[in-house]
Every structure is written in C-alpha cells, then in structure tokens.
C-alpha cells in the first residue's frame, strides 16, 4: 500500500547512509510463457536492477527490482532466454520507473519545475531526466486529438531567445520570434480556459498560414472566431485560410494604442511649449502616469491635478482632448451593455479620423482600417486575446526558471506542457 507498485511484493526497505530510501521488490513465483513461442519457460533465478523512483517523504528513492530470468524449453525457439518485463514498473532499459517519469512530468507541468530541478530531486543528471520525459511529451504532442473542439483561436508572437539569428544548420538557434497559437474556446460554463496549441518559428503571414494549412480542413471549418493584435501579417493569414471566421481585434492592444497616442501628444506639446523633454516640476510631466489610468479609477486629488495641468496653458487643451478620446475608446469596452458599447465604438470610428490632433487622427485611421475586426468584439460576446497574453506570461515564467533555452524542439515541448497544450482535452 505504501510503495504502490502493483504486481510486486516488497521484500525489504532500508535507509542508506546518504539518506536514499532503498526498496527491494520482486514478483511472486509462477509459470511464465515464452514471448517467442508461448511455451512455459524454465526459471533461471533472478537479476537485480536498481531503478530511480519518485521521491518519498522528501527523500530520494531507489527501487531494487529482483527481475526473474527465464530460458525457453523449446530448443527450436529463436528466443533462447529472456528477462521479466513490466511496463507499469519501468520501460525496458529505462533508468527511471514509470512512476518517476509521471512524477517528473507533473512537476514540470504544475509546479514550474525545471528539468535540472527535477534531476536534483531524483539524484540523477539532466540528460537522464530529459531522455525519459521527452518521448512522453513527443507522444502527446503528436496526438492530433488535442486540436479537436477548437472554436476560438488566438495568435500572438514572442521572443524565445535574444542571441544571434544564425540558421540552425550553422549552429545557431534560428529566428528569435515565434508565433504561438492558443485555444480560447469557452467551456460549458462559458469560461475561457486558454491552452497553447503550438509554437512555430517566425512572425509572418506565412508562418501562421502554413500552420493553419497543416491542421486540415476540418480544423479550419471548426474555428468560428479568431483574435489577434493589430498585425497585418496575421490578418492576411486569416483572410486566406479562415475566410469564414470572424476576426476580432484584441481589446488590450486597442486600448494600448489609445494610451500611446495620448503619451505622444503630451510629449509633443511639452516640446512645443517648453522646448525640452519633461522634467520634475513640469505640469504635463507630473501627470504622465495619471494619463495612463482609467478615469473611473482616479481619486479626487488626481482629477484636480489633471484639471490644473490642462488649464495651466492654452496649448495643453490638446492633451485634454486626446485623453478624453482615449477614455471614450476605453468606455466602449467597459460598458456593461454590448449594444451601447458598440454605439460608442461606432462614434469613435466616425469622430477620431477627423480630429485636428494628428496623433488622434492617425489612431482613428488605424481603427477605421480595422473596422470590421474592431467592431467584432461586441458581436462575439467580448472575445479577446487575453488568454493568449496569459499563456505568454506562463511562457516567460518558464523561460526565466530555466534561465533560457538553446534548443527550439525542447523549448516547444516544454512550453506546450506548461501551458496546457498536452493535457487531455474534454468536450466543452
């Protein structure tokens, strides 16, 4: 009951001098058929094999398996002799027990443990752990059923290394950018449980389109909504491969565009009025952080500081107007009623491109170019790329824990594991 190795009996348990817990186990005696011909084989004693098991009570564990050895009684059988095997205990020629492999995968999946950290707990080398774990991850990654049921697809890019972009054939790590595809489908309760589907090298329309083509027509037909940031390359791939899918511009990136436009107006007015960049004591420089916040979050003191800065000089009215425009854009997303929020968004599309402030007019023209994807937010029950950004956060954490990666294939498998891409899928 304590050791939990079904089919084996515990013969002895001892604590070694180095603190390792050594457990002697063996299978009960009984007739065994030859795997070659099926005839009952002759016993030839036992052979001890020491395996690394999952830690127990914070102690490293070794299982000494006294494996039975046999000789086939049929002289014509090509299988002259063989040794007892049990896949539930350990795979042939493995150094880790099957339970230790499952434990290692769980530590990396749920506890953000690095391979080196797992190896340290098991008392083995990094290569030993990865040699046992990698085939498990590769098998899960090759399972096409993990792409089933995807109705909402998110996409975003990130950097997986910051060194030279030399080709892999020349000893480099290849492109710095990777495109990540994330499942943002809602479950039966309407909640989004984001999981990483894949990571492919490059940040381009081709990288995204090639991945969509590889998934097959059935997968593409199942995707109803696709979220993305304002990158024309990903939009082109969606138009080419998912022409019946509703593209949704990510709310976070749209609000960020508005905030950036306000900051650009503030810096320009600062230079035009005082002839230098912001310094301590300058009115506009003093409110730079307040301008990034939502108006509903401002205290009375912060509102007073804004009013004082806006009215200090006549030229500051441009910053006031830009801030009001950005807040109106933010209000469209925040409104509880989808119909009302859409009306605010439509008003933004009509008014911003004609604004006399150049930065705000440019923002309006950008949104007008993305009009359909921008307004789709209110037609798809607030679909966004937020789950994709959450997955990127998990990836960044895992890369910091591991102190970087040198091999793309290992990186892809580790990130798929950590971000739920290799978990068994359940119907929503």
Evaluate if residue 243 carries a pLDDT over 90: no
Percent of the chain with pLDDT over 70: 99
Mean pLDDT confidence for 326-343: 96
- The reported pLDDT for the residue numbered 313 is 92
d(CA 336, CA 322): 24
- The reported pLDDT for the residue numbered 427 is 39
Q: The tokens of 222 are what?
A: 């199942």
Evaluate if residue 101 carries a pLDDT over 70: yes
The hierarchical CATH code for the domain 145-250+384-420 is 3.30.420
Instruction: Decide which of 275 and 58 is more confident.
Output: 275
Mean pLDDT confidence for 108-133: 94
- The reported pLDDT for the residue numbered 428 is 35
Mean pLDDT confidence for 203-222: 95
Evaluate if residue 113 carries a pLDDT over 90: yes
Percent of the chain with pLDDT over 90: 79
pTM of this structure:
0.88
- List phi, psi (to 5°) of 20: -75, 135
| Average pLDDT of every residue of the chain | 92
Mean pLDDT confidence for 359-363: 97
Give the rounded distance of the alpha carbon of 243 from its chain centre: 26
Report domain extents, the chain.
Answer: 9-140, 145-250+384-420, 251-380
Evaluate if residue 373 carries a pLDDT over 70: yes
- The reported pLDDT for the residue numbered 425 is 61
pLDDT category, 389, cuts 50, 70, 90? Answer: very high
> Tell me: the pLDDT tens digits for 159-207?
999 998 888 888 888 899 999 999 999 988 889 989 999 999 999 999 9
Q: The tokens of 14 are what?
A: 């001892």
> Tell me: the pLDDT tens digits for 249-267?
999 999 999 999 999 999 9
> Tell me: the pLDDT tens digits for 291-301?
999 999 999 99
> Tell me: the pLDDT tens digits for 18-42?
889 999 999 888 888 888 888 888 8
- CB distance 172 to 178 below 8 Å: no
User: Can you give the chain as a three-state secondary structure string?
Assistant: CCCCCCCCEEEEEEECCCCCEEEEEECCCCCCECCCCCCECEEEEEEEEEEEEEEECCEEEEEEEEEEEEECCCCCCCCCEEECCECCCECCCCCECHHHHHHHHHHHHHCCCCHHHHHHHHCCCHHHHHHHHHHHHHHHHCCHHHHCCCCEEEEEEEECCCCCCCCHHHCCCCCCEEEEEEECCECCCCCECCEEEEEEECCCHHHHHHHHHHHCHHHHHHCCEEEECCCHHHHHHHHHHCCCCEEEECHHHHHHHHHHHHHHHHHHHHHHHHCCCCCCCCHHHHCCCHHHCCHHHCCHHHHHHHHHHHHHCHHHHHHHHHHHHHHHHHHHHHCCCHHHHHHHHHHHHHHHHHCCCHHHHHHHHHHHHCHHHHHHHHCCCCCCCHHHHHHHHHHHHHHHHHCCCCCHHHHHHHHHHHCCCCCCCCCC
């Amino acid at each position: 009951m304590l050791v939990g190795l079904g089919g084996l009996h515990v013969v002895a348990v001892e604590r070694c001098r180095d603190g390792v817990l050594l457990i002697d186990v063996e299978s009960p005696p009984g007739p065994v058929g030859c795997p070659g011909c099926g005839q009952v084989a002759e016993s030839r004693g036992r052979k001890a094999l020491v395996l690394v098991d999952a830690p127990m009570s914070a102690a490293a564990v070794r299982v000494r398996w006294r494996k039975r050895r046999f000789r086939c009684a049929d002289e014509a059988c090509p299988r002259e002799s063989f040794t007892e095997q049990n896949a539930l205990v350990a795979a042939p020629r493995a150094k880790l027990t099957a339970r230790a492999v499952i434990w290692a995968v769980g530590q990396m999946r749920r506890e953000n443990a690095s391979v080196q950290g797992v190896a340290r707990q098991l008392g083995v080398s990094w290569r030993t752990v990865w040699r046992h774990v990698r085939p498990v991850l590769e098998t899960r990654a090759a399972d096409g059923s993990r792409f089933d049921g995807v109705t909402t697809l998110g996409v975003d890019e990130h950097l997986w290394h910051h060194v030279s972009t030399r080709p892999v054939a020349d000893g480099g790590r290849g492109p710095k950018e990777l495109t990540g595809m994330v499942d943002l489908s809602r479950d039966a309760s309407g909640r989004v449980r984001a999981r990483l589907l894949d990571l492919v090298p490059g940040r381009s329309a081709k990288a995204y389109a090639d991945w969509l083509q590889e998934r097959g027509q059935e997968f593409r037909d199942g995707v109803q909504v696709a979220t993305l940031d304002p990158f024309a390359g990903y939009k082109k791939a969606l138009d080419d491969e998912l022409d019946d899918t509703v593209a949704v511009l990510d709310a976070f990136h749209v609000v960020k565009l508005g905030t950036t436009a306000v900051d650009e107006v503030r810096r320009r007015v600062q230079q035009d009025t005082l002839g230098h960049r912001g310094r301590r004591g300058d009115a506009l420089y003093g409110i730079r952080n307040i301008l990034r916040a939502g108006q509903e979050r401002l205290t009375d003191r912060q509102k007073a500081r804004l009013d004082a800065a806006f009215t200090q000089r006549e030229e500051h009215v441009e910053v006031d107007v830009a801030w009001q425009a950005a807040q109106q854009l933010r209000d469209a997303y925040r409104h509880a009623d989808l119909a009302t929020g859409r009306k605010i968004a439509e008003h933004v599309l009509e008014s911003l491109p004609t604004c006399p402030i150049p930065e705000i007019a440019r923002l309006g023209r950008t949104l007008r170019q993305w009009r359909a994807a921008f307004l789709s937010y209110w037609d798809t029950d607030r679909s966004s790329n937020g789950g994709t950004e959450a997955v990127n956060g998990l990836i960044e954490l895992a890369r910091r824990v591991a102190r970087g990666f040198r091999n793309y294939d290992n990186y892809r498998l580790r990130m798929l594991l950590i971000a739920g891409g290799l978990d068994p899928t359940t119907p929503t």
